[in-house]
Structures are given as structure tokens and as C-alpha cells.
Amino acid sequence: MERVTVNDKSLSQRQFNSSESASKISMPEKCVVCNSSYVSFVKELPTKQNKIVDLFYCMECESFFSPFSLPNKVSSQLEWHKSVLDRNLEWATDLLTKIQQKTSIDGPIIDIGCGIGSLLLAAKQIGLEGIGFDIDEDSCIYGSTKYNLKLVGTYWERSNSPQCGLITCISVLEHIHYPRLLIKDLVNVAKENKCYLYISVPFLNRDWWKFLITDNLSKGHIFEYPHVHVTHFSSKGLGTVCREFGAKSLDPLRAGGWFGFLVSF
Ligand SMILES: [Zn+2]
């Protein structure tokens, strides 16, 4: 049988060298978003470090995911957070203003993945209190000291959650290989506190599928860092999992450059 010729041998080895090797691809048993068994292998995505990340797809909720990529190292993102502070302050003010137009925020805001506390600083400027959680301790220490915010350098979960009047989780879930447990906690805590939950991720819906066949290492590509963004939610997928855990409705809400859903109960 004629071999397929591709330029990069490291990429071609597993898929094309023999019919045997193709069967060695490890398949996830379930979709990491909706838990469906209808999952399919999509393709190998190269990284800039010459590694390979396997991309899978859920036929049920239309999310994409790479659960077998290596865990991301916990590293300080302090300089990044500082560089986008002004932008995030503007977006956060827009977000909080829009939420306040729908409901009063009665109680502290919990911000998951708070970084240096940009969102909570924006909240403070309009008279709202909050507490932030982030595993990036450097950023938490910087934000706590410089802006006198309550930022905790640890994982947030249901068991260590204070009472709240709003939960925000922005640009976090796409980094998590198995996000269902965190989503379950987010939904449950928001439900217990009878408050809104705002979730924003870079959604991957059908109109972005065209990027599956272009060079993923090009600048700004949705799969430019396939080992960093490991779960690519479709809007349908996020809706499915939130409703499974008790959410009643999800309303789309754009604030600055963030697009997400305001989850209610
Ligand atoms: Zn799914």
C-alpha cells in the first residue's frame, strides 16, 4: 500500500506508519464537558515545543477537548496580568454594570481565577466587595498588597467558599482538563446563595470549525497553544453541563472582549 507523504515525520509516525499504530490512539471514555460516550478522535495538533496534542470531539454537545495533554505548570502570570490591567478594568466595569442592570448584587463577589484582582478592583471602585481565588500566588500577593483586595492563593471549591452575591469565572475553564467538578461546585454554590454565576471562555462553535484545517501554530489561532487551552466548550456544551447540575437558564452576555453566559436558577 502506498504511504502517505507528509513533511513532518514526528507527526506522521503514529497515524500513517502502519495500520496497527493508528489503533494505539488512546480514546477518552467520556466527553469531559457533558459526559457523553459519543466521542471521536479529530486530529493531532502540533505545539511550538514540537510535541503533539490529541484533539477529541463530542458528537453530543459539540465541544472539543484534549484531556491527555500534560498538566499545565503552575507559573506566575503576574506580568501578563499587569499588562492587561487597564483593559480588564474597563471590561469588568462593563460586566458588573450590565449585571447590576438585571439584579442587585447582594453580598461579596467571588472571582475564580482572579489574577491580580482586576475584576475586584473594578468592583471596589463602584462600591462592591469581593474575594478572589487563584492558584497563582504571586499575582494574589501583588494584588492584595497593591490594591488592598482579598485575594487567596489557593484552589476554590464548594467546601472553602464564603457566602456571596455573585460568582465570576472568566478565562479559567478552558485551562482545565476535566472541568465538570469545578462547574458542579460553581453551579451548586451559586444556587445555594441564590445568586448569578457568570462564566466566560473562548467558545468554539461551528462558525470556528474552519480553523480545524488551518495552521494552528499561526499567531492568534484558536489552537495556537493546544496544551494550554485544553477544553474548548461549545455554547451548547456549557449549557448542557450547567443545566445538568441545576442551572435554570443561561443568558448570553458580552462585556468588553469577554463573551459568556449569566447562569441563573
Ligand atoms: Zn459533550
Q: Is residue 3 situated within a structural domain? A: no
Specify whether 248 is located in the same domain as 216: no
Those residues whose beta carbon sits under 5 angstroms from the ion ligand 1 are 31, 33-34, 36, 58, 60-61
**In angstroms, rounded to a whole number, what is the distance separating the alpha carbons of residues 228 and 40?**
21
Q: Which three cell numbers stand for residue 159?
A: 467546601
Instruction: Please tell me the predicted confidence (pLDDT) of residue 72.
Output: 72
Same-domain status, 195 and 133? yes
Alpha carbon of 30 to ligand 1 centroid (Å): 8
Closest CA to 196 of 150, 231, 237, 247: 247
In whole angstroms, give the CA distance from residue 59 to residue 39.
6
Residue 201's pLDDT is: 98
Q: Are 165 and 123 in contact (CB under 8 A)?
A: no
- Quote the domain boundaries for residue 18: 9-72+206-230
Rg of the chain's alpha carbons, rounded to an integer?
20
Q: Are residues 187 and 217 in the same domain?
A: no
Q: Is residue 164 part of a domain?
A: yes
- Alpha-helix runs per DSSP H in the chain: 9-16, 19-22, 78-83, 85-102, 118-125, 137-147, 180-192, 235-244
Same domain? For 138 and 225 the reply is: no
Q: For residue 181, how far is its CA from the centre of ligand 1 (angstroms)? A: 14
Q: What is the pLDDT of residue 75?
A: 80
| CA terminus-to-terminus distance, the chain | 58
Nearest-5° angle of CA 120, CA 121, CA 126?
A: 95
Ligand 1 mean position, distance from CA 126 (Å): 38
The tally of domains found in the chain comes to 2
Distance 25 CA to ligand 1 centre (A): 19
Cα distance between residue 37 and residue 58, in whole Å: 8
Residues 236 and 225 in one domain: no
Alpha carbon of 128 to ligand 1 centroid (Å)? 36
Q: Which regions of the chain are under pLDDT 70?
A: 1-23
Examine the domain organization and report whether 168 and 222 are in the same domain: no
- 201 touches 238 (CB < 8 A): yes
The reply to whether 15 and 29 lie within a common domain is: yes
Residue 2 lies in a domain: no
pLDDT of residue 23: 52
- Cβ within 8 Å of residue 251, ≥6 positions away: 261, 262, 264
pLDDT of residue 14: 56
Cα(200) to centroid of ligand 1, in Å? Answer: 18
